[in-house]
Amino acid sequence: MNKPLRIIFAGTPEFAAIHLAKIIQQNLHKLVCVYTQPDRPAGRGKKLMASPVKELALQHNIPVFQPATLKTEEEQKQLASLQADLMVVVAYGLILPQAVLDIPTLGCINSHASLLPRWRGAAPIQRAIQAGDKETGITVMQMEAGLDTGPMLLKATIAITEQDNGGSLHDRLAELGATTVIKAIDGLANKKLTPEKQDDSVACYAHKLNKEEAEINWQLAATDLSNTVRAFNPWPICYSFIDGVQLKVLEAHVEDRSGKAGEIINISKEGLIVTCGKQALCITKLQLPNSKPLPFWDVYNGHKELFTPHRILGK
């Protein structure tokens, strides 16, 4: 192997911290510093909280930089002074201008949770589940100014199972991404990777998630709703209303039943069956306001007045 690379790591959430942990554990290259987003207010007390990446870096005595932007000449000079060979970017959350991408000798690489160009953008994990994709994976790409458009260096694929939700797939992809990034760093260090251009014609944009789109539209097919329930767990979590009370739907599956969209047609220990635009959704795990998530039957036994046959869900 050639001499160890001088690496800058840029990332913010837990997904990125898992990648950073793997690089630290490998200890094959010199981690010069970490870039992460500024501390943000969080929790009920709105205390300033360090990102998972910052916390991990400080535990290992790695210098941390937290600029609000990398677009200023001052910040770019600071980054250039670190004389990095490579910048590894994972869910950093800040746009890197071309001037920054050009600073490290080998440029900047990004670990993206999609088999590019399938899902570019902010929420590739959830959008893959929501779309009913059967597989996804990690793409390590050479970064360029466009959004997730850079040449692909390395890919790793995993299946999306019926049991996967946004949380479980996130965790599996974080581990896969960490391993794949290590291979990519070594491949670049040894000049063994050949960049592959993306086919822009088959790219989809993975829009950022929001709470408004999590409201269930019972006119849609049950398959689409079931996929979305899985995709949006643990956030933003799908919901509907019954008699003005919000119901958060955490787990559900498709039943081959029919009726008026949004109508309760069956109540049992197996779940609450609600008809959709096509087929029906059997809701097996729910959460009421100011309560914890529970199996449907437990919720029903405490709130039978809410769940009566032929009642219509929605506002």
Residue 116 is assigned to a ligand binding site: yes
Within 98-180, strands assigned E span: 108-112, 119-121, 135-142, 152-159
Helices (H), 159-295: 166-189, 222-231
The type of residue at 232 is F
Residue 67 is assigned to a ligand binding site: no
The type of residue at 12 is T
Residue 114 is assigned to a ligand binding site: yes
Contact 229, 238 (CB under 8 A): yes
Q: For residue 308, how many other CB atoms are within 10 A of its CB?
A: 11
**Rounded distance between C-alpha atoms, residue 20 and residue 68, angstroms:** 21
CA separation, residue 219 to residues 7, 227, 279 (Å): 51, 15, 10
**Rounded distance between C-alpha atoms, residue 86 and residue 9, angstroms:** 9
b/e per residue 200-213 (b: at least 16 CB within 10 A): eeebeebeebeeee
Contact 143, 101 (CB under 8 A): yes
Residue 258 is assigned to a ligand binding site: no
CA separation, residue 197 to residues 7, 142, 151, 201, 305 (Å): 24, 10, 5, 12, 58
Annotated binding-site residues for (6S)-5,6,7,8-tetrahydrofolate read 114-117
**Which residues are part of a known binding site?**
114-117
